[in-house]
Amino acid sequence: MKTGGSTLALQIAMLAMCLAAAGRAEATDTATVSDQKLQAKIQYCTYCHQPSGQGYVGSTPIPRLAGQQTEYFKNQLQAFIDRRRVNFFMFRVAHSLSPDMLAALADHFNALNPPPLGGAPTELVDAGKKIFVEGLPDANVPACQVCHGPEAKGNGQFPRLAGQLYPYIIKTLTNMDKERGQGGPGNPDTSAIMRPIAHSLTESQIKAVAAYLSTLE
């Protein structure tokens, strides 16, 4: 892959360092969560995210949770609690969850693997794959696979993107600076690393990447 200048090379090096750190995440203990309580919480989650965690395409897209990296899953629920990620409904859901319940829910959804819902414009897939694999050197956008892995299945604190809903990826990348990484310098959030990258993508490029990712199993 061509690097296209010192700025892009620095971004890739920073992302690669973060990816390496993600692989050293510590395990958490979920033994204190009763099965009855866990099943009740799972049922509550699936009212919106659907029984297999495949997500839902409606007036507001609800993301796929199935197969999601456990560390990322826990971090994002904690981000709702800490108001580093903005969503009033999810704050109300997450703030009552214990650390052990967060971990148990993360393990449950990580183990699910339904097929992607699909629905993206197929003519955008090839362009999206090129951006995912090679990045956009002229725009200082590193290859997505640097952190999210060659199959887009994520790693530790970096989320799985494979099979994520087409409209949800578009919404997330378009609103990254408004919904993610809101903690500020004193309360950092790993998703803040995506803000300059998302800002550098055009609307058509975002749609192309979203189309490609939504097809992956």
Which CATH number fits the domain that encloses residue 121? 1.10.760.10
Asked if the structure places residue 30 within a domain, the reply is no
Residue 208 CA to residue 205 CA, distance in Å, equals: 5
How high is the pLDDT of residue 178? Answer: 84
Number of structural domains the chain divides into: 1
Asked if the structure places residue 39 within a domain, the reply is no
Phi, psi of 155 (to 5 degrees): -165, 110
Residue 42 CA to residue 55 CA, distance in Å, equals: 14
Asked if the structure places residue 17 within a domain, the reply is no
For 172, the domain range is 54-215
Asked if residues 48 and 60 have their Cβ atoms less than 8 Å apart, the reply is no
Q: pLDDT tens digit string along 178-211?
A: 888 776 667 767 777 898 999 999 999 999 999 9
Asked if the structure places residue 123 within a domain, the reply is yes
Asked if the structure places residue 15 within a domain, the reply is no
How high is the pLDDT of residue 8? Answer: 52
Q: pLDDT tens digit string along 80-134?
A: 998 888 888 999 999 999 999 999 999 999 999 999 999 999 999 999 999 999 9
Asked if the structure places residue 203 within a domain, the reply is yes
Buried b (16+ CB within 10 A) or exposed e, 16-27: eebbeebeebee
pTM of the model as a whole:
0.85
Cβ neighbours, 10 Å, residue 192: 17
Asked if the structure places residue 71 within a domain, the reply is yes
Asked if the structure places residue 137 within a domain, the reply is yes
Q: Residue 23: which pLDDT band, with cuts at 50, 70 and 90?
A: very low
31, with CB counted inside 10 A (0-12, 13-18, 19+), is: exposed
